[in-house]
Amino acid sequence: MLSEEEKRLYIFIGKRITQLRKQAGYTSQETFAYDADIPRALYGRYEKGANLTVFSLYRILKHHKMTYKEFFEEGFEEL
């Protein structure tokens, strides 16, 4: 069972990857997931705050040409 803190972290990560997708001009999760080579249904769960693997996050960030450091620098101080 996840703690409340863990749940908040996953939800925040989901919001962050949603923000990145939209900033990149993708209006649909499906199109982004296809381009990033991530199963569509799985990617949709990530945006909703499901637990994701480091490798899945790597694929998302690679598609955005972003490092882990850049990803975690914005907004995570709020947690």
- Encoding tokens for residue 40? 């569509």
For the stretch 57-74, pLDDT in tens is: 999 999 999 999 999 988
Q: Choose which CATH entry (3.20.130.10, 1.10.260.40, 1.20.120.1810, 1.25.40.10) describes domain 4-78.
A: 1.10.260.40
Whether the Cβ atoms of residue 22 and residue 29 lie closer than 8 Å to each other? no
Residues 6+ apart with CB under 8 A from 10: 2, 49, 50, 51, 52
For the stretch 20-42, pLDDT in tens is: 999 999 999 999 999 999 999 99
Q: How much is the pTM?
A: 0.89
